[in-house]
Structure 1
């Protein structure tokens, strides 16, 4: 402890006042004016002297303290705690220490202490000094700052920084460990719909339940908005860890708010074992979070153990995202293919579906099933979708002038993503694209999956009504594969139902499968919708759908998705599927 040099001089003076120095009474007056606590003890650890600050802290007087030990004033525990420092001071050593002490009024105070030897003029040690400084307020501020830095204010659990500190300590000691990340599924939707207060109550309740039943874990931390980390020290025993993880799933399902409100909760749980190949503690946390992401991709409500292939997959996705951003910026590697949609009775061309393609400069053609999910998860699909919409509208405007005289106008189907539906500016985007390209709204048909629509049905209905007000046609894609509600279906301002290819391909397998397609078509006619069947692969498929009075169809039987120049030949009347 670094004491004020004036205090040090006074201590020296009390040890033996030098010639010409102030008298002892003057020194005592000065010491009484000091805010630090100073006590002088003999070799038997009895008080000889104490200044005013010392006496006030002990709630006593000099007469009462003289001859008493610290144990007489503060109890035997304090006497034992200071025994070592006093002994070392009596051996001639100055000893600094700090800690909490219970005062006579039973309050706890935090002191910096110095035990220093008191020497006679001949140099012999006659006792020792204790100089104490009350640092309670500063220590409380430090504790508050520590809590802010290392603990979560909502749940009181350790936070990400504290977790990393523990992981670093474990690695430094060579202690093996397993890390579990538990991420609450759909938490953002819960918070958005029920409010931040309700969400915080759920988190707080969950933290208490984890603390009460999480004996298998050495540390529980909140590491993100809706994710918790659970640390298990020691060699990994997989069956034991899996049992603990199952218990976690049960705990999550039981969480509720303070008011008793409940929602169904599940968690995606990832597990990673610390290995010698992990260079940093952060790498273990990264792997556990990757495993959690994999559990979420599998549908949530399940657990996943990390393996290196997951890391390679994530690295590949990050690289793919980077390249896709570059492609969207330059627009040179992206292009739109057009698959014809055929009027089933006449076999004439009715329109096209626009399908984005990516010709990577190094990897060649990347399937949409690879890059579209990346665009969805990163939000790039909004920019990508707008670009496809603009390209498709520009193209259909050109083709309308090239179609056979007297034929009906062609329509262009463009797929929409869930992200686009959630974009509050989407209707304005469509309006602006129509204005820029000169496309009649009735030429454009926007396709939405039933799952995307029904996820937020009321909001979707309002959006579709605004689009319908523009004059745009609307279609439900992949009908029958999602979770449509008939109570909402008749409310949707749509024009078409698109029968999923899985139903079309199964029509020849059984009468039951044909009945499903027939029911969808009957339902569509009842509600005033036309029907488009996709995935028509053979003439048998086409003939059966004609027999069922299907309105439109598309599939490889007619044509694959084509580059613009090839699709343009169809507009001129060269329909390959009509060739004998």
Structure 2
């Protein structure tokens, strides 16, 4: 094998003469060309050599550095901080360390420093080398990555990962702690209506105010788009935590954008105390978020402390959601019941209201009041509502040919949820179902709750107008329980008002209650709507409503919601309530 000519040249250059002068000069040139900083010290910690990069860091010439300690050049604090490393090197160890160093020019540099013994030919330690590598750029990259990983870019606060890290540290040290989740109510609506920039300004201002007022908390982190976590170390002092949270709620209410714009803010607050039963930090976070959800369900702007029953409830909700999804896919456990709607004057059958039912294979019949809220909260209600609409339309199409000769066509009322009203495809879905089932549009009446319509009145009016162009009928359900405005009510393209059962059941208690029902009916007639009263339980209820000229009624006095087979018998004219009147 031929020798490497570059290695041969280096050997020749360093071999020099007997005095070694050429070799030392070449070595000095090599060391001065290196970016790594090299210094050689005697046992008294005085410089006896340094390369160019080292001298630039020290702000000194070689002549100035020789015979001086590092303390003479950079100050006694640097001298003290490296004393242990120097001692270990002179004891024959090679040790490394890293940290920040202030150069002679005042710049902060992050360095990796190696102390190694300088040995004589006989092995005795004559001093030590210091070899320094500047790692500032790498450290800055690491710091940037750390900030991206553990801090929120909008508020500068710690994020979810940093929160979990702190909780894990507390657990490993056996330190008890309490976790608070503060979720800003209606933040999505604020962002949608006022824009992302305004929302970010609010968050930045809120983060600043929380940082200034949150001395009671050991860490404040942004853990989601509109939720913050607050960590309190030590045994839980509930009164103290509650007082701190009251103050923090005031901070939330005072938040404003950078431009000075304000909106009313409130927060749903959930609190969980770390317990031995919590195996992971995520478990504490989960429980705090469950408690926050409970505060939100109760109307927002309040505190809720976690208890184990909440977790069991959430687990049950998740299982129920899973089973409901399966029921929608299978199409066998869900079915539609039909409650008759009766003409109050003649007692004849006018139509039906379609009501979804769920016969769970293991749990039996699950009340709508249990599974409908789950469908609403998960968005499944859109799919469920479409399924009910299609089933109800198929059924009313089949019943039209079975009705009493000469009677008017029956109509089918189907409820629409708030989520369905927000579905941009709703009009197309209704149109497609009508086409698929062959139902005349006038046979279908969609019922919408008063609060859902009035929540976004202008948007609702446009939607109802689009639905009305299909030829279907529209009704406001539970009228009187929401917050209707007469300025909008007369603009709604609807056909019916449905008097809520609470008013019907209270009619016999006082003249004032009867007057409320009478006023609703007078208002409906003035606006050209017909009136349907629900919750008619007795013949006395029915007689009084007839005296008030109510158009239609439904309730247990006539019939409970019926299976399709039983409801079909009514279509043929077998009306059991007629003899009772």
TM-score normalised to the size of structure 2? 0.95
Q: Which residue of 1 aligns with 2:315?
A: 315
**1:21 Cα shift?**
12
Alignment match, 1:119: 119
Q: Does 1:194 align with 2:194?
A: yes
Deviation digits for residues 157-195 of structure 1 (CA, Å, limit 9, x no counterpart) = 111111111111111111000000111111111111111
Deviation at 1:148, TM superposition (A): 0.3
- Partner residue, 2:553: 553
- Does residue 388 in structure 1 map to residue 388 in structure 2? yes
The answer for the alignment partner of 2:165 in structure 1 is 165
Q: CA deviation at 1:366?
A: 0.2
**Deviation digits for residues 520-561 of structure 1 (CA, Å, limit 9, x no counterpart):** 111111111111111111111111111111111110011000
Tell whether 2:568 aligns with 1:568. yes
Shift of 1:86: 1.7
1:441 and 1:212 mapped to 2: Cα distance?
Answer: 61
Q: In 2, distance between residues paired with 1:191 and 1:492?
A: 28
Partner Cα distance (2:395, 2:22) in 1: 102
Aligned to 2:4: none
Does residue 352 of structure 2 align to residue 352 of structure 1?
yes
Q: What is the CA-CA distance between 1:23 and the residue it aligns to?
A: 2.9
1:354-373 paired onto structure 2 within 5 Å: 354-373=354-373
The CA deviation string for residues 2-57 of structure 1, in whole angstroms up to 9 with x for no partner, is xxxxxxxx9xxx9xx99999833222221112110001112222211111111222
1:436 match: 436
Q: Which residue of 1 aligns with 2:26?
A: 26
Give the C-alpha shift of residue 119 in structure 1: 2.2
**1:398 matched to which residue of 2?**
398
Provide the C-alpha distance between the structure 2 equivalents of 1:76 and 1:518, rounded to a whole number of angstroms.
Answer: 94
- Residue in 1 that maps onto 2:69: 69
- SS of residue paired to 2:577: helix
Q: Is residue 490 of structure 2 the alignment partner of residue 484 of structure 1?
A: no
The aligned residue for residue 499 of structure 1 is 499
Q: Could you tell me how far apart the structure 1 residues matched to 2:479 and 2:18 are?
A: 101
Give the 3 Å change call, closer, same or farther, for CA 467–21 of structure 1 in structure 2. farther
- Distance in 1 of aligned mates of 2:78 and 2:444: 85
Aligned length, in residue pairs: 566
Equivalences for 1:403-422 in 2 at 5 Å?
Answer: 403-422=403-422
Q: Which runs of 5+ in 1 are unaligned?
A: 1-9
1: CA distance, partners of 2:450 / 2:374: 21
Q: What secondary structure is seen at the aligned counterpart in 1 of 2:350?
A: strand
CA distance in 1 between counterparts of 2:547 and 2:567 reads 28
Task: Return the alpha-carbon distance in structure 2 between the equivalents of residues 222 and 373 of structure 1.
Answer: 29
Aligned-pair distance for 1:460? 0.9
Distance in 2 between residues matched to 1:183 and 1:22, nearest whole Å: 74
- In the TM superposition, 1:97-496 aligns within 5 A as 97-496=97-496
**CA shift for structure 1 position 78:** 1.9
| Cα distance in structure 1, aligned partners of 2:262 and 2:269 | 21
Superposition deviation, residue 110 in structure 1: 0.5
CA distance in 1, matches of 2:315, 2:24: 76
Who is 1:5 aligned against?
Answer: none
**Inter-partner Cα distance in structure 2 for 1:154 and 1:435:** 50
RMSD: 1.7
1:450 shift after superposition: 1.0
Secondary structure of the residue aligned to 1:23 is: helix
Rounded Cα–Cα distance in structure 1 between residues aligned with 2:361 and 2:577: 33
CA–CA separation in structure 2 for the residues paired with 1:559 and 1:22: 114
Deviates most, 241-250 or 77-86: 77-86
TM-superposition CA deviations, 1:181-230 (whole Å, max 9, x none): 11111111111111111111111111111110001101111111111110
Deviation of 1:68 after TM superposition, in Å, equals 2.1
Equivalent position of 2:3 in the other structure: none
Distance in 2 between residues matched to 1:482 and 1:87, nearest whole Å: 82
SS of residue paired to 1:545: helix
Counterpart CA distance in 2 for 1:88 and 1:482 is 81
Indicate the residue corresponding to 1:79 in structure 2: 79
Structure 2: stretches of 5+ with no match in the other structure:
1-9
Looking at structure 2, the residues matched to 100 and 367 of structure 1 have their Cα atoms a distance apart, in angstroms, of: 67
Give per-residue Cα distances to partners, 1:440-490, cap 9 Å, x unaligned.
111100000011111111111111000001111000111111111211111
SS in 2 for 1:542: helix
Match of 1:7 in 2: none
Which whole-Å deviations, capped at 9, do the CAs of 1:68-100 have from their partners, x for residues lacking one?
222222222222222221222223222211011
TM value normalised by structure 1? 0.95
d(CA) in 2 for partners of 1:18 and 1:37? Answer: 29
Match of residue 579 from structure 2: 579
C-alpha separation in 2, matches of 1:213 and 1:576: 69
Aligned to 1:52: 52
